[in-house]
Structure 1
Amino acid sequence: MTASRHLDVVVYGATGFVGRLTAEYLAHHLPSGLTVGLAGRSHDKLESVRGALPPTAAEWPLIIANADDPDSLAAMASETRVVITTVGPYARFGLPLVQACAEAGTDYVDLTGEVLFQRESIDRFDDIAHRTGARIVHACGFDSVPSDLGVHALRRAADADGAGALTDTTYVLTSMRGGVSGGTIDSLRNQLDVVRGDRTARKIAASPYSLSPDRDLEPDHGRQSDIALVDGKAIAPEVTGWKAPFAMASVNTRVVRRSSALTEGTYGPRFRYREVMNVGSSVASPLIAGAVAAGLGALVAGLSFRPTRFLLDKVLPAPGEGPSEQTRERGHFTVDLYTTTETGARYTARFAAKGDPGYKATAVMLSESALSLAVGGSALHAGGGVLTPAVAFGDVLTERLRAAGFEISTRRLP
């Protein structure tokens, strides 16, 4: 990366809903001495976004860049150290920017929850990014930072105690208040369209190790379903009630398994990982969990079938839409992770934050991921490539998020 770059961070997609939230967060929390640019297709819209930011952003440069214009993306990548992109669906709009950043040696972070996009990014650009030193880091929001850093924290705690490698590990979304992102829904639509007509894509999306560097080297742990009903007692004695499938398990679990593989299996050869969500601990929890599972299946089926998709599109949020500021402020989430090590030691980690998880909290996680790259220095992963949040940032992002008000804690269970 050349020393002549005059920007530290560029927010690409700054006129979108999450892009504006990200720009606003950076305007309030940018470390002294760093410079930020705002990028998108429309100069007028960018100027409007900048005008709504605090006075500290008044001189931020505006950059015209478009996914349909590779030269504009290359120019943008060449003048900054880090690119944040909120422009999705990533499978439709994201690969040209990944290419531009990989070739320019520019660090990159995004919000994608799209497994097939990440797989194509790895296949096409991992080698290039290794050569140039670009750190391409996908899934830096609610998908998949709590999952990835949560398991990272468990591994660090077990390592510190000499308790051995991780084995069965479960993420439980204990509580959440917030809306569904229109961008997330649009990404789901796009991926369903791809897999419907492509048998190979369906196979990749279904594989629990679809993001691993070499799937043939991964352990055979049998069937690892993302749509599972789990009795809390099967997770840990302290966990009560049945748990329902978590909608984003299909991407988060694959990101976590890639982290394990990229760190040469340091999580352990018997490491197994799943994600579920809490639906209460009453005697009705098995029925509620079953209803949630059926509802998720119905949503996927409905979006896969054109007549029902037309009806669902009338009520589901559209890309670029988001909740009111009051709703974003009232949101929150708490994730509890449980693991047992190969020596029988048990640990739990908590990852929690205030703010709507898909919007306010995600803007914080995305911004702090970019700032980790901008200021993390030698504490970060040294090499380039298509990385995961835990591998790229590790303790650097953990500490930055704690300073931003997140709870990220671990404790050993009796």
Structure 2
Amino acid sequence: MEPSARILVFGATGYTGELTARSLVRQGVRPVLVARSAERVTALATELGGLEHAVADAGDATALAGVVRAGDVLISTVGPFLRYGEAAVQVAAEKGAHYLDSTGEGPFLRSVFERWGPVADANGAALLSAFGFDFVPGSLAGALAVEKAGAAATRVDVGYFVRNFGTSGGTRASVAGMMLEQGFAFRDGALRPERAGRRVERFEVGGRTLTAASVPGAEHLALPAAYPQLRDVGSFLGVPPALARGMALATLASTPVRSVRPLKSLALAAAGRLVKGSTGGPSAQQRANASVSIVAVARAADGSVLATSTLEGPDPYDYTADMLAWGAIAAASGRLLSTGGLGPVGAFGLDALVEGCAAAGLKEVGA
């Protein structure tokens, strides 16, 4: 059934944007495709059944504002988001359009919650940042673990582990830029500065003990909002031990660069030249061979383990596209529970999120 509100895909001709547009069409939705290249967006819109389409550049908020209307649902896949993402969230928040994005960049998603969330709330809109593999699975696994643990849970750590995973040009560009940004974590009941890789944890995954390094994720914002008893939240990315140590050293070494604006600007420009976005991504066959595990561990104040939750799912890009499509359809169908900057549980409730993730192939195992 066609949703009652329009769904727009901004960045529709990029790697993740096209996957998302195709997912929506498979589910019977006719989204509006928006991209900077008139030729490419016209060709894709024609291929997908003569969809409505428009031209707007990521750096031109005025052009995008001419396309987006109050009550729309805008999906943004235009990254790196720290470089190109501001216009879409600004237009959505100010216009009163619901918004979802595919970012994995901690500083950007934090600005969505803290800077643009109040604007959207005042205009009756919801902002759902990082509504893909970054970082919906961690919010779901963390919520399931805390629900099992009950009120005694004051800490939850979430680890992401991928197998046979290829990356897109946009992902590589985002990671390069992130190394030069200040990270954060939810510690002692508050969001605090913390560089990526500062903490290393070990998780039990499929009978093996795997290493993961800390990253700034949406869980730091979303889980404390859903479970106020939490005092500490950790988000971790599975990496080999040597790489975890290297990541910690790299972010430590880049601290002087992050602290001096001219040096940071030069470094970001150099990273942009060396690591190009919009260069495509894994093939359908490569994605079919990839899979993920997400593990959440809920602990008591004394550090003892109270409960765990493990999720298994498909390739991160396919999951992201299907999850963005599910979230947009749910938002367009009036299923949002609140407005402003929201985490996945706060946006739809835990039961609905379990349903949506299952539809995208992500399910709890061993429960």
* TM-score exceeds 0.5: yes
Q: Which residue number in structure 2 is paired with residue 406 of structure 1? A: 362
Deviation at 1:403, TM superposition (A): 2.6
- 2:219 maps to a residue whose letter is V
Residue 370 of structure 1 pairs with residue 328 of structure 2:
yes
Residues 224 and 327 (structure 1), Cα distance of their counterparts in 2 relative to 1, 3 Å cut:
closer
Q: Which residue number in structure 1 is paired with residue 16 of structure 2? A: 18
Deviation at 1:17, TM superposition (A): 1.0
Residue 259 of structure 1 pairs with residue 259 of structure 2:
no
Query: Which one of 211, 226, 231 corresponds to residue 243 of structure 1?
Result: 211
**Partner-residue secondary structure (3-state), 1:208:** strand
Distance 1:43 1:188 in 2: 29
Query: Which one of 79, 85, 88 corresponds to residue 88 of structure 1?
Result: 79
Deviation at 1:375, TM superposition (A): 2.5
Deviation at 1:79, TM superposition (A): 6.4
Distance 1:371 1:277 in 2: 31
Deviation at 1:24, TM superposition (A): 0.9
Residues 275 and 77 (structure 1), Cα distance of their counterparts in 2 relative to 1, 3 Å cut:
same
Residues 49 and 276 (structure 1), Cα distance of their counterparts in 2 relative to 1, 3 Å cut:
closer
Residue 49 of structure 1 pairs with residue 44 of structure 2:
yes
Give the conservation status (yes or no) of the 8 Å contact 2:184–2:191.
Answer: no
Query: Which one of 285, 289, 309 corresponds to residue 330 of structure 1?
Result: 289
Q: Which residue number in structure 1 is paired with residue 345 of structure 2? A: 390
Q: What is the identity percentage for the equivalent residue pairs of Structure 1 and Structure 2?
A: 26
Q: Which residue number in structure 2 is paired with residue 120 of structure 1? A: 111
Distance 1:38 1:118 in 2: 23
Q: Which residue number in structure 2 is paired with residue 268 of structure 1? A: 229
Q: Which residue number in structure 1 is paired with residue 184 of structure 2? A: 207
**Partner-residue secondary structure (3-state), 2:320:** helix
Q: Map 1:38-117 onto structure 2 (within 5 A).
A: 38-53=33-48, 58-78=49-69, 81-117=72-108
Q: Which residue number in structure 2 is paired with residue 182 of structure 1? A: 169
Structure 2: 5+ residue stretches without partners: 258-262
Distance 2:360 2:169 in 1: 26
Give the conservation status (yes or no) of the 8 Å contact 2:105–2:178.
Answer: yes
- Structural RMSD (CA): 3.6
Structure 1: 5+ residue stretches without partners: 196-204, 210-214, 280-288
Deviation at 1:118, TM superposition (A): 2.7
Residue 354 of structure 1 pairs with residue 314 of structure 2:
yes
Q: Which residue number in structure 2 is paired with residue 201 of structure 1? A: none
Which string of whole-angstrom CA distances, capped at 9 and with x for unpartnered residues, describes residues 120-155 of structure 1? Answer: 334432222111111011111111111112112223
**Partner-residue secondary structure (3-state), 1:67:** coil
Which string of whole-angstrom CA distances, capped at 9 and with x for unpartnered residues, describes residues 152-190 of structure 1? Answer: 2223334xxxx3242332323344221123212222333
Q: Which residue number in structure 1 is paired with residue 260 of structure 2? A: none
Residues 220 and 60 (structure 1), Cα distance of their counterparts in 2 relative to 1, 3 Å cut:
closer
Deviation at 1:278, TM superposition (A): 6.6
TM-score, normalising length: structure 2: 0.82
Work out the number of aligned pairs and report it: 353
Give the conservation status (yes or no) of the 8 Å contact 1:15–1:49.
Answer: yes
**Partner-residue secondary structure (3-state), 1:241:** strand
Q: Which residue number in structure 1 is paired with residue 199 of structure 2? A: 228
Deviation at 1:37, TM superposition (A): 0.8
Distance 1:368 1:272 in 2: 26
Distance 1:192 1:224 in 2: 9
Give the conservation status (yes or no) of the 8 Å contact 1:66–1:72.
Answer: yes
Moved more, 267-276 or 71-80: 267-276
Residue 339 of structure 1 pairs with residue 298 of structure 2:
yes
Deviation at 1:400, TM superposition (A): 1.7
**Partner-residue secondary structure (3-state), 1:164:** helix
TM-score, normalising length: structure 1: 0.73
Residue 169 of structure 1 pairs with residue 161 of structure 2:
no
Which string of whole-angstrom CA distances, capped at 9 and with x for unpartnered residues, describes residues 309-340 of structure 1? Answer: 979976x6643421122111211111122223
Residues 18 and 408 (structure 1), Cα distance of their counterparts in 2 relative to 1, 3 Å cut:
same
Distance 1:320 1:180 in 2: 10
